[in-house]
Structure 1
Amino acid sequence: MLSDLVRLRRARDLMDRDYAEPLDVPALARAAHMSPGHFSRSFRAAFGETPYSYLMTRRIERAKALLRRGDLSVTEVCFAVGCTSLGSFSSRFTELVGMSPSAYRARPHEQGAPIPACVAKIFTRPVRNAEPAADAQAVRRGEEPVRNGEAKPSARP
């Protein structure tokens, strides 16, 4: 329903804007004027991931930017982006980025300096699962998405 989508976008905008604040599903559901259960189900159906997953992706994106600056410790970055547990932050960062926050901070980042932040954000967004990107590339080439390791030509002209 269109009105639900508008309310879900309001909650998503809240996460984008206030990612460093202590946000939880009941608070986000209140912002969307929905029950927590309905909000979680609707959010996942509309955006393809849970509200918590979306929020953590925003936090990791911001953490990557702070770590590239190099003037904050990993612990300071963890708390600056709204995480309350260094262990959970490090685990999620490693899961999404492919390396620990310390390793990410230590690697050189000068090559991306001339790229505008809005463009860099698109290409450095943490991706939980590479399959959707591979599926999108297959569709652009006119093939069916990869299933069981085989690409099949599309029946489309």
Structure 2
Amino acid sequence: MREFNGKLSFVPAGHCFYGWQIPRVLTRVTYFYIDVQDPLFDPETGITCPLISPRLFFFDQAVWNTALKLKAEVGSCDPGSRQYAEALSLVLIHELIRLERTTSVATRPIRGGLPVWQQKRLVEFIEEHLAEDVSLLTLAELVDLSVYHFARAFKQSFGVPPHRYHMDRRMDRARSLLQRPALSVTQIGIQIGFRETSSFTRAFRKITGLTPTEYRGHREA
């Protein structure tokens, strides 16, 4: 992978993850350790030892937002901060369970669609090439299908055509980057493959209904 900004990873107890990287800039990472045996996670919360699959370098807006709020509470001296952090911890677990359920449904084999292993290969390839123009032929060759059969199977599996899926993922990345005040709208557009700020703005507004600047303003408000 060439882009780790805004990435999340979930490693359940009993699993081991290790790796290495040569970062171009200093890497900043926040770790949350969640003990589901803690009294905080009792039956009344609706959480009883959830089984959540390992997930590496993914992005989900709801999980990301909750994690940022929880991170902001770490080390806070506010007397009510502990209760708020505990509430956020419960929300974070619920968001992970929701993501697990949503993914499980999305990856079920669909008649005429792509097998799970092909879906995974395509998703990983698209994530690694978000800032590039990837042709339909390139994607079809990745899973050894004709362009016609690939386009039809992809839409049956993901619910949208390949180009729309690619663009949606670009905009998800843009939403994540817009939470970083240090980056200008122009810089973010370039990072996700737009040479012109105006083109990025049009594409972002088409997907979200807001310009990047408006979206950033709403987030800060």
**TM-score, scaled to structure 1:** 0.60
What does 1:3-152 correspond to in 2, within 5 Å? 4-5=114-115, 6-109=117-220
Task: State the Cα deviation string for residues 5-32 of structure 1 (Å, max 9, x = none).
Answer: 2324311221123312332211111212
Q: Match for residue 26 of structure 2?
A: none
CA–CA distance in structure 2, aligned partners of residues 107 and 46 of structure 1: 33
> 3-state DSSP class of the match of 1:23?
coil
Larger deviation, residues 46-55 vs 94-103: 94-103
How far does residue 82 in structure 1 lie from its aligned partner after superposition? 2.1
Highest Rg: 1 or 2?
2
Give the CA deviation at 1:80: 0.2
Structure (1/2) with the larger helix percentage: 1
Q: Report sequence identity in percent.
A: 31
TM-score of the aligned structures, taking structure 2 as reference length: 0.44
Q: Which amino acid aligns with 1:98?
A: G
What are the ranges of 5 or more consecutive residues in structure 2 without an aligned counterpart? 1-110
Distance 1:22 1:42 in 2: 21
Equivalenced residue count is 110
Shift of 1:2: 8.6
User: 2:183 corresponds to which letter in structure 1?
Assistant: L
- Alpha-carbon separation, structure 1, partners of 2:212 and 2:134: 22
Aligned partner of 1:104: which letter?
Answer: Y
> Does the 8 Å CA contact 2:113/2:153 hold for their aligned counterparts?
no
Q: Residues 84 and 39 from structure 1, CA distance in 2 versus in 1: closer, same or farther, beyond 3 angstroms?
A: farther
Distance, in Å, in 1 between the alignment partners of 2:199 and 2:143 is 27
RMSD: 2.3
C-alpha deviation, 1:105, in angstroms: 2.3
Q: Show CA shifts across 1:100-148 (max 9, x none).
A: 01111233437xxxxxxxxxxxxxxxxxxxxxxxxxxxxxxxxxxxxxx
Gaps of 5+ in 1: 111-157
Paired amino acid for 2:187: E
